[in-house]
Structure 1
């Protein structure tokens, strides 16, 4: 797992290609790590339907912990994909919504989600076949 998955980074990310022959993709790796992360994808899918409060997101995304959701929305906010809005009320209300950049991802994420749904049975069968043919393999 990359460090970007375990902590929020605070340094300025250089998104330009580094120019090193052995790292031709280093300029996009950071962005792909973020938008390819399973929790980020699920947050983007949920926010594609409109603004959500934190607890609404947490209830909608099965299995995500409060800490992981906090880190995920902070990272997406840092990357300019999600906007966090705090409303001056007692108690304070906060909602999350996709920015224009974040919204531009929704058709790609929806296509990935649709593909996943369409192929989940075939993938489950392939996994079962593989596991049967390789009983000592620890890949799961």
Structure 2
């Protein structure tokens, strides 16, 4: 056999070694980052939720997800430990990249989103038949059943 025929296999094995080595470095850096967490630190979970660390245990971490709301997460669920400046900029809108609220603000309730004139629309075109009986349908069926005689009630 020609020694050059083994060259593609050697290149492939070398590439696999480099990929696993870089993946192991990333994994070790993530473990170190999670081990360096301490109470008061801002974090982002792998799900994208921002929270403040309250307690750190061996495999879990207690996060404050909102003022007074605590949740226990696995340490592996922490995707990034943020410095104070970045955490405050993202969560509280501090700094020059603060949230822009010039656009439309969503109200707490939907009452301001409904049009007062839309409630007065009584056209049949605006209604959708969902197969439910209304009070007027019930009254009509009662009148029909009362007008039938005993002999007609069983036939259609």
TM-score by length of 2: 0.25
If each structure's helix is expressed as a fraction of its own residues, which one has the higher value? 1
Higher strand share: 2
Q: Which has the higher contact order (CA 8 A, sep 6+)?
A: 1
